[in-house]
Amino acid sequence: EIADLATRLGKLCSLGVLGPLAVEKGRCVVVNGLEGDASRLNGEKGVLKSYAEEGDTYEVGFILREHGSVNVSLPASSVALLDNEEMLESMQQQQLAVLALPEIQAIVNRLREECRSLSLFLHK
């Protein structure tokens, strides 16, 4: 029993590589090749959370507009790594999408009204 707990703890704390992609947890990936209801995830970008050897699946974390933050188990064959340029572009697109949200625009507009000069705006 203690050996099992030690093995589980080791896996949780491991900085080793995950699955057939042989990359560390936290890497950015894109999903492709899913069919049926799951096909709505094709093209979505997420972060690797874990790998299950039994089912050859990756757990991938997503932030989806309609569902918020979710973790989904996906076949390893449907997950591909993003290169550094793709990852940077994806992050920029996500940041721009957040800045375009009405509640964020309201905050920016309020700051613009309260701070008539650039120095006041930057210090607010």
pLDDT tens per residue, range 83-97: 989 988 888 887 888
pTM summary value: 0.65
What is the average per-residue pLDDT within 101-115?
A: 87
What is the average per-residue pLDDT within 51-75?
A: 88
DSSP 40-96: GGTT-EEEEEEEETTTTEEEEEEEETTTEEEEEEEEGGGEEE--HHHHHHHHHHHHH
In order of their start, the domains of the chain are: 1-82 (2.30.30.30), 83-124 (no CATH)
